[in-house]
Each structure stands twice: as C-alpha cells, then as structure tokens.
Amino acid sequence: MPLPPSFNTATAPTSTLSTAPGNGGAAQPRSGGSAGKKILLGVVIALVVVVGVLVALVATGTVHWFDGGASSPNTTSSGTATKQSGNQGSASKSKDKAKPAKTCDAAPDMTVSSIKSESDNLIVTILATSNCDDKNASTKFNDSATRLTLQDSDDNVVADAVFDFSGDNAKTISGDTGTKIKVSYASSQYYRPANEIGANPSDLSVKSVTGSDKGAGAAASSDSGVISGSNVTDDEAENNASKALDWQVEHDKDSAELFYSTYTAQLSSKRKGMEAEGKTWNYRDILAQFITMHNKNSNVLLIWSGDWPAYSSNSDKYYVILAGEGFDSTDEAWNWCKANNYGPNDCMPIDLQ
C-alpha cells in the first residue's frame, strides 16, 4: 500500500529502546513523554485546588449559584440571601428601637380620680396625661419639688403639699391612657374632712407648680407607690388654714342651728395664739384638730363662738368643736362624754341659745 505523501520514511522516528545488557533489558521512557506527563499532572493538581477552593467558598456561603434568570432568595443553594434578608429586618428593628421616644416639656393635665382617708392621711389618686402638641409624645415628671394644690369649684384650697418626683418617684406621663399618681397629704396639709373632699372628686382641680419652696418638716416615707408630701411654706399653710376654718364655719352653720333647742357636747375651743396643752395654737393646729375629730365622727361640727348667744358673755372669740350629737339633758350629754373617753376638761354639755 502506498504511504501518504506527508509520511516521509526518512524522517520517521527510530526506536529509542535499548537492548544493551547493561540496562537489564528495561524500557526507558522518552524524555519528551516525561515532560508531557509532568505538565498534565500539574494541570490536574491545579484543577483540584481550584475545585477545592470553590467548594469551600460555596460551603461558607461566600459564593452563590444563580440560574440565568431572576430567582427567589429562598431558593439559593446556601440560603445566605434569606439570612441577609433576616439580618436586614433585624437591623431595621434595631434602628426603630434606637429612635428616641418623643417627649415635650409641657406641664401635664391632671384630674382627681379618687380620694380616701387612711388614718389621718388623705390619699389622692391623680390621673396625669401628657399635654404635648403631639399626642404620641410623653412628658417626664421628675421634678424634686412639685407643689400639687387641690381646689374646689370656687377655687378654695382643700389640700396643698410639695412632692418629690425625682429618682425612683419619677413618672413618664403618656398622652393616650395617661399615668396614675398616688399622693398622700398629712392632716396638716389638707383643709377639709376627707369625706367632704371626697364626696365629688371630679369637681376638684389640680394646680401643679414645679420648683416650689418647702416648709419645715420632711415628708414621710412612701409606701406601696404612694408619695408623701412636704409642707408648703408656713405663711402659705397658715393662710390656707385660716380660709379653710372660715369656710367650714359657714358650711356647718345650718347644722349647728339644730342645737338651739337641744343639747350637744362641746369638745374643744381654741383661738390663734392660745397657750394650751403644751403649745401655742395656730390656724393649722386648730383645723387639724377639727379634721382629726371629724374623720372619727362625721357628726362633728365647727362653729365660731361669736355667732351664738351661748358665748356672748365672753369677749374672747374661739373656734369651737361640737360633737354634733343631740341630747335631751345635760346628764345625757355627760354620759356620752364618759362613754367616749373624754375627760371633764375636754367635753361638756352645751346648747347654743
């Protein structure tokens, strides 16, 4: 068979195998074939390294495989897109939480919710609501000397004290539901019997003044979330008590007229500056004594001696506390005094005619 034209027998390679005895008959590779195998081995190793790196990257989520079109993040092989979406949501929530709450400095609105008497103290629950222009904003109530004055519909002061709302007593006043605050007025800090103040709490208004001056005497400790007040200044407290005594005398006058024709018992008679029972009496002391007695017995009345004939012979005028109980005779009145543990200097029969 004729050979192809390109095949030249003159240049055909000859066998490189040697059969010389010194080589033991072993076939030796051609030098060109050895180099080719080395190159091929290097390529294989390189491919293995590349594949290994790619596998590692995919496993750690660094490389994502996508098809040619749009795909849902939930269908990625590594799930990393889903995680990133979740992380972005968390970051968004963190940013929302980090936003400062809206606040303003406007004084809150306050209304009286309820009033009750505990021992000689007046416990008042006040509903405070934010007065900010933005109804979603709140007010921080944290002043250390806030004066809370309760007034009736005629602007008569019925309770007055200074409260410390700093530290643990601080309140955040919201604009939607509001915040309830419980405060306690001592017997020298409210100016009417508790049952008369609490009869219509919604009729009372609350006046709030921050940075107020305090009078002598520290507030009692607060229990069960109730904040106790310090006295207002002495002059202000005396003025409040004087007006409250006059109000009470006028309020009780109609009830006292019942004792023109029957007996009752006189429990006390005091005037400002009087030395008695180891102290000099002022308006606050007189009013506090009346309120304490009235809180124990709601029939107790307050009169001004100058308004009644029974006291006309005495040039000095007094605030007189009456038991408000009616008796047919002086003996019956004396027996009542003894039964209620009053001594002869503290309780005596009287009619006002």
pLDDT at 233: 95
pLDDT at 72: 40
Give dist(CA 105, CA 138) in Å, integer: 9
Pairing mode, strands 226-228 and 205-209: unpaired
Overall pTM surpassing 0.95 (yes/no): no
pLDDT at 181: 94
pLDDT at 79: 40
199 secondary structure, DSSP code: T
pLDDT at 55: 52
pLDDT at 174: 80
pLDDT at 16: 40
pLDDT digits (tens, 9 = 90+) for 92-136: 555 555 555 678 878 889 999 999 888 888 999 999 988 888 877
Tell me which residues of the chain have a pLDDT lower than 70: 1-101, 217-223
